[in-house]
């Protein structure tokens, strides 16, 4: 875990280094715009739409590549989670919008679970680009999703969760997921991924219980506050809190290959966020 902790120490610098590099390598004034060859579409203009800078996603992708040893077989996707149960994830539309505005957007396909891939487009690095939703600001949680293929839908791998946390932090996608008290008293320069009680994840469906792999009998996941409106979970809306859990990412005795097991409230559910 010392190596992992060292890895995440510089996460706050990745984003700014990436932006600085991108600005330095941007095309000079008057040069032909290489993005003109990309497919374009016109999107509906929404005042104060939900959005995230494209540079934030690129910083998260950088963090994933740098920390891939935590989850060597995993893939990286991103996901949007509605803050209201009345919003259908399958109706969410995302577009990569460049400085040319709403009439010059690139569609980002979103699946029925709200998951999507972010393309790395060199021509857009350093440009004033963002990924924008067809919803007003404040209606979505933006999160990373690091998944090792082949695992059952009712499990998550600890190394995947650790790397997912690093991706969220590097890209700033966890801004609204850390309780205010944690941001206020967190150690400057230290990753919240490796401090206690600062990392909250969402399972695909409401939970009845959470446990660690039985192969690790000396460790367990403390689910004492599972589903309760405690300080830890108030960052999420009430309908999402039954899905919230907090794995001990900082516990060096728990290997990356350990599995977190979910028991869903609905025993017959075939839940999958993958």
Q: Read out DSSP for 122-135?
A: GGGTTSS-EEEEEE
194 CB-near residues (< 8 Å, 6+ apart): 1, 4, 5, 8, 249, 250
**pLDDT at residue number 238:** 83
What is the pTM assigned to this prediction?
0.75
**pLDDT at residue number 224:** 44
Q: pLDDT in tens for each of the 274 residues of the chain?
A: 444 444 444 443 333 333 333 333 333 333 344 444 444 445 555 667 889 999 999 999 999 999 999 999 999 999 999 999 999 988 899 999 876 565 568 899 999 999 999 999 888 877 789 999 999 999 999 999 999 999 998 999 999 999 999 999 898 886 555 544 444 444 444 466 876 556 788 888 888 888 888 666 555 555 544 545 454 555 688 888 888 888 888 888 889 999 998 888 887 765 444 4
Q: What angle in degrees, to the nearest 10, is found between the helix axes of 54-66 and 11-24?
A: 120
**pLDDT at residue number 96:** 92
**pLDDT at residue number 85:** 92
> Cα separation of 62 and 67, whole Å?
9
Structure tokens at 121: 């487009």
**pLDDT at residue number 98:** 79
> Cα separation of 68 and 72, whole Å?
5
Structure tokens at 117: 């891939």
Q: By the 8 A CB rule, do 206 and 243 touch?
A: yes
**pLDDT at residue number 15:** 38
220 CB-near residues (< 8 Å, 6+ apart): 211, 212
CB neighbourhood size of 121 (10 A)? 17
**On the CB side of 231, how many CA atoms lie within 13 Å of its CA?**
7
């Amino acid at each position: 875990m010392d190596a992992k902790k060292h890895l995440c120490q510089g996460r706050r610098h990745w984003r700014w280094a990436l932006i600085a590099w991108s600005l330095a390598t941007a095309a000079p004034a008057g040069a032909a715009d290489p993005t003109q060859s990309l497919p374009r579409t016109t999107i509906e203009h929404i005042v104060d739409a939900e959005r995230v800078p494209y540079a934030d996603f690129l910083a998260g992708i950088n963090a994933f590549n740098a920390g891939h040893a935590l989850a060597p077989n995993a893939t990286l996707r991103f996901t949007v989670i509605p803050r209201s149960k009345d919003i259908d994830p399958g109706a969410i539309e995302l577009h990569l919008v460049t400085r040319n505005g709403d009439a010059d957007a690139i569609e980002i396909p979103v699946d029925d679970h709200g998951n999507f891939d972010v393309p790395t487009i060199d021509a857009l690095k350093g440009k004033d680009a963002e990924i924008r939703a067809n919803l007003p600001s404040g209606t979505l949680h933006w999160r990373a999703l690091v998944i090792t293929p082949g695992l059952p839908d009712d499990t998550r791998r600890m190394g995947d969760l650790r790397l997912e946390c690093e991706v969220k932090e590097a890209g700033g996608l966890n801004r609204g997921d850390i309780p205010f008290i944690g941001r206020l008293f967190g150690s400057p320069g230290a990753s919240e991924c490796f401090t206690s009680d600062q990392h909250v994840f969402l399972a695909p469906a409401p939970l009845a219980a959470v446990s660690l792999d039985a192969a690790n009998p000396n460790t367990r996941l403390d689910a004492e506050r599972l589903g309760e409106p405690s300080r830890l979970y108030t960052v999420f809306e009430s309908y999402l809190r039954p899905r919230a859990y907090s794995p001990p990412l900082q516990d060096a005795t728990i290997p990356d290959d350990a599995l977190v097991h979910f028991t869903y409230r609905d025993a017959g559910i075939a839940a999958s966020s993958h």
